Structure 1
């Protein structure tokens, strides 16, 4: 098992209607990635999709991927492309439930947004994940 130090929260920086297949195609065709950007992605209806086993390394945070589990919600921008917390009630519930499971499995892992990592110049996940989940304990 990998030594997990972080659980990174992301947004896709797309409309909530974006399809997972389109996101995966972008990774392959434009970024040249063979592995997905996230372990989990949450659709607007709250459905959790596992894209990669947590034992494998995803491409979520450059320089930190070997020690990070990456979870993402579809959305994160408004209609003009400006960063905004667009999580649905269902996405918020699924994200919280998934973070609880991951925190139970990796109790010392730090939950934070992509933007909270060093040298990251993004708004992702378009809300303060550290603040929102700072009191999250193991279940």
Structure 2
């Protein structure tokens, strides 16, 4: 279960960010390549922190406060991270907010463990099918 959750976390973060990188959102930087680089950096940091949380922090927190309170704590932390990220104007500030957000998201993941075998393959399949369509529409093909 630990390995499958870790792989799910990394794969989900990676696949979700592909459309954002292809879309080349601008942070008011000099060129589109800079925007792509910094977008990848932003979401890459979040993915690493989220995976670390799932791998090393989830069990100690769950053992000390219980599963239900862990999900509540994760919901609160993800809310704080989202608020922090929303009010930032610098890339560094957004990175910090997104990392906090990902910590909270990984702590709420146990809420879906009961449905993991049903949700995960469907989620992966939907994203895999959508990727060529998203990429071609962004590229204007």
Query: What TM-score comes out, normalization by structure 2 length?
Result: 0.23
Q: Larger helix proportion, structure 1 or 2?
A: 2
The higher radius of gyration belongs to 2
Q: Larger strand proportion, structure 1 or 2?
A: 1
